[in-house]
């Protein structure tokens, strides 16, 4: 009898018995057969981390526990642009990881500062959710049907500039708070808010979306819709960690996110900079397009470039070089004169 080879599977084979997924109230000691996954405590963060934890438990058979870490970004109600820019949601999770209070940390990739972090490795970028921005308006209105002078809430200078570029008559006001708080403002004192579609989809509030903005009209924040799974650099080669990260990582999402982040890094821009970017792989080509806005939306600058890239034979440096190339073109064309790029890092 001849052996039939197992069919090739795009998904690594799961463990015979999935591990359990639980949520801890306080600190959890390291233990064999247990992975502790650090997360912010918001509904959105817990929902996306639970999905990651379930995938790890399936792929490895080990038990996974969610450890909730409170970050400065969760506690403060100051406008996002004044919170010290990039990293407000991230540092507490990274500190917990380095201190050994958890073994993996799950971040929204767009919240990560662009520079490397001592002792920490980007272990995986999972399959990306919808990267687009979403308009959530009263009475199901779209950007085209909002009345003249309508009030739209967003805490993001990029979203404000993009709204004003398309509808200069709108009154854009700064809002903060978690997704439910922001949605609560609709009909209360605002006609609409703009949020990431990914966040709404992840917490089951996709019903609140009246329009998903097209990429060309409102390119999202670099990395939007993607998650970043960080681990201690000393742990990446552990067999259980290798299996977990291989099961989680999506090479396409990773290449796109890295290109978008390299752009931001070269521009030395923070997460509050008015920059939209969108990268996509199609037929062996990675294309990155980015737009920098004047804060009032009255002017914008777009650059686009492509590079060969395939998941089967990834040129590891290609996404980074592409991001750098597009950023350099924007700088050469005067991006710094259009907007404060690094002001809120
Ligand atoms: N800056 C806040 C933030 N960071 C990540 C998300 C959710 C979307 C995502 O995962 O990219 C949001 C909310 C928003 O932009 O509406």
Number of domains in the chain: 3
Contact (CB, 8 A) for 117 and 187? no
**Position 177 confidence tier, pLDDT thresholds 50, 70, 90:** confident
Q: pLDDT of 123-163, one tens digit each?
A: 999 999 999 999 999 999 999 999 999 999 999 999 999 99
- Is the CB of 90 within 6 Å of ligand 1? no
- Is the CB of 224 within 6 Å of ligand 1? yes
Q: Tell me, yes or no, whether 104 and 242 share the same domain.
A: yes
Q: pLDDT of 280-308, one tens digit each?
A: 999 999 999 999 999 999 999 999 999 99
- Is the CB of 108 within 6 Å of ligand 1? yes
Q: What is the mean pLDDT of residues 322-343?
A: 93
- Is the CB of 110 within 6 Å of ligand 1? yes
Give the atom of ligand 1 at the shortest distance from the alpha carbon of 80.
1
- Is the CB of 42 within 6 Å of ligand 1? no
**11: in domain:** no
**Position 16 confidence tier, pLDDT thresholds 50, 70, 90:** confident
**306: in domain:** yes
pLDDT(74) > 70: no
Residue position matching structure tokens 């817990």: 46
ipTM: 0.94
Give the atom of ligand 1 at the shortest distance from the alpha carbon of 224.
11
pLDDT(81) > 90: no
Q: How far is the CA of 195 from the centre of ligand 1 (A)?
A: 7
Pairwise pLDDT comparison (344 vs 267), residue with the higher score: 267
Q: Which of 196, 323, 327 is nearest to 260 (CA)?
A: 323
**Which residue's CA lies nearest to atom 13 of ligand 1?**
196
Contact (CB, 8 A) for 22 and 65? yes
Q: Which of 166, 168, 161 is nearest to 143 (CA)?
A: 166
Give the atom of ligand 1 at the shortest distance from the alpha carbon of 225.
11
Give the atom of ligand 1 at the shortest distance from the alpha carbon of 196.
16
Q: Give the range among 84-93, 94-103, 192-201 with minimum mean pLDDT.
A: 84-93
**13: in domain:** no
pLDDT at 121 (0 to 100): 97
Q: Tell me, yes or no, whether 197 and 87 share the same domain.
A: no
Q: What is the mean pLDDT of residues 83-89?
A: 57
Q: Tell me, yes or no, whether 238 and 260 share the same domain.
A: no
| CA angle (245 as vertex; 241, 250 as ends), nearest 5 | 175
Q: pLDDT of 232-251, one tens digit each?
A: 999 999 999 999 999 999 99
**Position 193 confidence tier, pLDDT thresholds 50, 70, 90:** very high
pLDDT at 73 (0 to 100): 59
Q: How far is the CA of 45 from the centre of ligand 1 (A)?
A: 10
Catalytic residue numbers, as ranges: 111
Mutate to test the pocket of ligand 1, among 43, 44, 228 (most ligand atoms within 8 A of CB): 44
**Which residue's CA lies nearest to atom 14 of ligand 1?**
196
Q: Which two tokens stand for residue 16?
A: 């015979």
Q: Tell me, yes or no, whether 94 and 191 share the same domain.
A: no
**1: in domain:** no
Q: Tell me, yes or no, whether 115 and 140 share the same domain.
A: no
Mutate to test the pocket of ligand 1, among 202, 203, 224, 225 (most ligand atoms within 8 A of CB): 224
pLDDT at 285 (0 to 100): 96
Pairwise pLDDT comparison (187 vs 120), residue with the higher score: 120
- Is the CB of 111 within 6 Å of ligand 1? yes
**9: in domain:** no
**117: in domain:** yes
Q: Tell me, yes or no, whether 122 and 237 share the same domain.
A: yes
Residue 55 is part of which domain span?
Answer: 21-126+226-249
Q: Tell me, yes or no, whether 280 and 241 share the same domain.
A: no
Q: Tell me, yes or no, whether 55 and 201 share the same domain.
A: no
Q: What is the mean pLDDT of residues 9-29?
A: 82
Q: CATH no. for residue 74?
A: 3.40.190.10
Q: pLDDT of 209-235, one tens digit each?
A: 999 999 999 999 999 999 999 999 999
Longest dimension (CA), the chain: 77
Q: Tell me, yes or no, whether 170 and 141 share the same domain.
A: yes
Contact (CB, 8 A) for 35 and 60? yes
Q: Tell me, yes or no, whether 25 and 108 share the same domain.
A: yes
pLDDT at 173 (0 to 100): 96
Q: Tell me, yes or no, whether 118 and 194 share the same domain.
A: no
H, E, C per residue of the chain: CCCCCCCCCCCCCCCCCCCCEEECCCCCCCCCCEEEEEECCCHHHHHHHHHHHHHHHHHHCCEEEEEECCCHHHHCCCCHHHCCCCCCCCHHHHHHHHCCCCCEEEEEHHHCCCCCCCCEEEEECCCCCCCCEEEEEHHHCCCCCCCCCCEEECCCHHHHHHHHHHCCCCEEECCCCCHHHHHHCECCCECEEEEEHHHHHHCCCHHHCCEECCCCCCCCCCCCCCEEEEEEHHHCCCHHHHHHHHHHCCHHHHHHHHHHHHHHHHCCCCCCCCEEEEEEEECCEEEEEEEEECCCCCCEEEEEEEEECCCCCCCCCHHHHHHHHHHHHHHHCCHHHHCCCCCCC
Give the atom of ligand 1 at the shortest distance from the alpha carbon of 131.
11
**6: in domain:** no
Q: Tell me, yes or no, whether 142 and 183 share the same domain.
A: yes
Q: What is the mean pLDDT of residues 255-270?
A: 95
Q: CATH no. for residue 315?
A: 3.30.160.40
**310: in domain:** yes
Contact (CB, 8 A) for 174 and 153? yes
């Amino acid at each position: 009898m001849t052996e039939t080879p197992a069919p090739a599977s795009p998904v690594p084979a799961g463990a015979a018995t999935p591990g359990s997924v639980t949520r801890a109230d306080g600190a959890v000691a390291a233990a064999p057969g247990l992975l502790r996954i650090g997360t912010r405590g918001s509904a959105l963060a817990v929902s996306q981390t639970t999905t990651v934890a379930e995938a790890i438990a399936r792929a490895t058979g080990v038990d996974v526990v969610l450890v909730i870490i409170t970050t400065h970004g969760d506690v403060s109600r100051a406008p996002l642009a004044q919170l010290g820019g990039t990293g407000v949601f991230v540092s507490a999770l990274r500190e917990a990881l380095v201190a050994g209070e958890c073994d993996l940390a799950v971040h929204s990739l767009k919240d990560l500062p662009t520079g490397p972090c001592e002792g920490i490795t980007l272990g995986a970028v999972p399959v990306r959710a919808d990267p687009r921005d979403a308009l959530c308006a009263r009475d199901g209105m779209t950007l085209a049907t909002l009345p003249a002078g309508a009030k739209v809430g967003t805490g993001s200078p990029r979203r404000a500039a993009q709204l004003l570029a398309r509808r200069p008559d709108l009154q854009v006001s700064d809002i903060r708070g978690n997704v439910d708080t922001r949605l609560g403002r609709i009909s209360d004192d605002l006609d609409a808010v703009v949020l990431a579609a990914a966040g709404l989809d992840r917490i089951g509030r996709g019903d609140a979306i009246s329009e998903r903005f097209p990429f060309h009209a409102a390119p999202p924040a670099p990395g939007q819709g993607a998650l970043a799974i960080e681990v201690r650099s000393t742990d990446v080669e552990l067999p259980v960690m290798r299996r977990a990260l291989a099961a989680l990582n999506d090479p396409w999402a990773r290449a796109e996110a890295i290109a978008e982040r390299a752009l931001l890094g070269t521009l030395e821009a923070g997460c509050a900079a008015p920059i939209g970017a969108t990268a996509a792989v199609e037929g062996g080509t990675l294309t990155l397009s980015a737009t920098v806005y004047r804060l009032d939306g009255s002017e914008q600058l777009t650059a686009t470039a492509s590079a060969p890239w395939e998941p089967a034979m990834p040129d590891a440096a290609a996404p980074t070089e592409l991001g750098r190339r597009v950023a350099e073109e924007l700088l050469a064309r005067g991006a710094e004169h259009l907007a404060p790029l690094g002001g809120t890092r």
